Structures are given as C-alpha cells and as structure tokens.
Amino acid sequence: MAAEGAAEEEVVATATTPAPSRALTPAQQKRITLRSLFDQQRPELAKLLPKGMDPDRLFRMALTECIKNPDLLDCSAESWALAIQTCAQQGLYPDSGLGYMYLVPRKNKKAGGDYVKEVSAMRGYQGDIRLARNTGEIADIYAEVVYAKDSYKVKKGLNRDIVHEPYEADDDPGPLKACYAVAKLTSGEIAFVTLTRRDVDRHRASSQGADSDYSPWKKHEAAMWKKTAIHELFKWLPKASENMERAARSIAGDAVAVDVTPVAGSTVPLEPAHGLDGLTAQLQAAGAEEGAAAQGCEHPKVTAAVLAAVPIGQLWPCETCGEALPGTKPADEAAVADSVIDADKKKAGRQGRLAE
C-alpha cells in the first residue's frame, strides 16, 4: 500500500509539474535580435517608406528570407540596417520568389584585413521593371535573353528592329549569346537596346563580388543579363519628369545615401564587426528579451486566425522567436475535405493506440 501511495504521489507530481521551457536555438535567437534591430530602425524607415508600403510586412519578409537562407543571420547588424532601409527607400519588398529585391550575403574585406559577412539588398530585373512602371510614363517594358540556337537578327539605322525567334526544340538551346530590352512609352515611342556577350561580360567584370559563391551572376545568370539590358535601356529613355529621373537614379544605383545612425536613446547599438551575435549579447544584457529567452516562446503573436490566412505548404515566421510555422488555409474546397479526412484518420489512429 505504501508503494502504491508513493506511486500515486509521483503521478500527481508529474501531472502538475509544468514541462520544462523550450530553449531557443541559435538561429531563433538571432531572428529575435534581428527583429529588435528592425524595431529600432522603425523611426528612420517611416521617413523613407512610400505610401502603401507596410513596415511590418517588410520585416516579416526579411525574416522569411532568413529561413530560406540561414547565412543571412551571420551578417553584420550595420549591413542589415542599410539593406532594410534600401528596400524601404526603393519601395520594394525583399522576396526572392517575386524577384523584386534579393538579400544577398557577402564576405567583404575591411581595412584591418579581416573579412566580415554583410548583407546587401540587390534589386532583380523584375524590381527594375516595377520601378519603371511606377513612373506612370512607361506603358510596357521587358527584357529577353538570346541563346546560341535562337534565330536572332538586329537591324539598326533609320528603321531599327529586332527579330528574335527562340529555339523551341527539347534539347539544350546552347549558351547565352545576347540580350535586349524594350520599352514602350505612354507617348507611343518605342526604345530598345541590344547587348552582345562581350558587352555583358564588361558589365559583369565591374560588378562587385561577381565571382563569389553568393553572386547572382552564378545563380541567376539569365536574370542578370536581363537586368544589365534594362540598365542600359534607361540611359537612353527621356527623363523629362521627376519620376523618370528618380527611377533612372535608382536603377543606375545612384540612389541617395541612407542614414543608418541609431536613433537617440536607442538600446540597440550597431556592432558591424561582430554580426548579430554581438548584438544579441547586448540585448540580453539589457534585458530586452527576458521573457522570450527565459520561458521559451509559445507563439503569442501568431494566432490561429493569422495562420488560417496562410496557404497550406507555406510558412509564416513567429514575430517573437522567428520559428517558421505552417499555414492552415486550404487551397480549395477539396483541400478542406482532404484536411478533414486526414484529421479524422489521425484522431482514429490516436484512439486506436490508446485502446491498445
């Protein structure tokens, strides 16, 4: 009887003792630190964001890119501040899926000879097209690449023209040999530029880090050829309005410098030489993350309603710990039925195991 009583007391103690808190992983801790850095930069971002651009969505998409590419979490805090403000200034969200703006980690050599990993906000050719369309003066703009087996002819002079018939067989069309960009203005005028491989190679040679493992010239070569063509095209487009001038400066990379100085009274000092690890230590020392770090995160800011708006198969980062949470919104009614059936199967399986 004494043994049974002791066993019962042990069961009661086990049932009433709370489960140990879940410790945050280093990646989750860095995402918390990054979110704190974003919040610290919010006052400066408010001056840069164009109408209709949501800063919280900008932050969430940046955190999502960190889930896709964990190397971004090793980049310096100062470079992160500049990258996010660059996205805000140009009015483009960092989303590698849309291709408007990419967050690219790089190793840069500093004055002392040490290498520091930094993140750069790099606009894709789709982002260039978006900026061009936003001027309201371009009715259509596009860029194409030409492969070795394509039929391609350029006619210049008084009656300029491009004739391009892509190679449509199933085998390899061969290497890239040329590219071009075309713009139709709202006035009805049409402008275009053509570039050969020699022209593109000259642009690539002047691009910082073009030969690094992180370079889009290696991962997205065709897209970079199109981007180069659009850059050249903008040199020839009329810039009679302020909108066109602003777009031309942004596309040419001659945007106004952004101030990344911490706001007065900030508790999040930038430590570019130590990346997010050094910043994390300072935040923890200041007690900025006391609740989340000590008790673990139960995702208080991500409600069921939020996840219900995210399609199944896609992830949504928790704003507290940065963990990627699966969406629950079915794609269609069939998906709803399937999810209900799956849930019933799982429930039946659990009941069967309990019965055993």
Greatest mean pLDDT among 76-80, 151-155, 158-162, 285-289 lies in 151-155
Q: Is the pLDDT of residue 231 over 50?
A: yes
Distance CA 328, CA 304 (A): 8
Distance CA 96, CA 80 (A): 16
The pLDDT value given to residue 328: 72
The pLDDT value given to residue 318: 66
Query: How many other CB atoms sit within 10 Å of the CB of residue 255?
Result: 13
The pLDDT value given to residue 218: 79
Q: What is the pLDDT of residues 110-129, one digit of tens each?
A: 767 778 888 988 888 888 88
Distance CA 90, CA 109 (A): 27
Q: Is the pLDDT of residue 182 over 50?
A: yes
Which residue has better confidence, 36 or 312?
36
**pLDDT band at residue 35, thresholds of 50, 70 and 90?**
confident
The pLDDT value given to residue 253: 59
Which residue has better confidence, 150 or 312?
150
Among the listed residues 136, 178, 188, 183, the one whose alpha carbon sits nearest the alpha carbon of residue 153: 178
The pLDDT value given to residue 129: 86
Which sequence spans correspond to the domains of the chain?
Answer: 26-123+258-285, 138-240, 297-356
Q: What is the pLDDT of residues 88-116, one digit of tens each?
A: 888 889 988 888 888 988 887 776 777 88
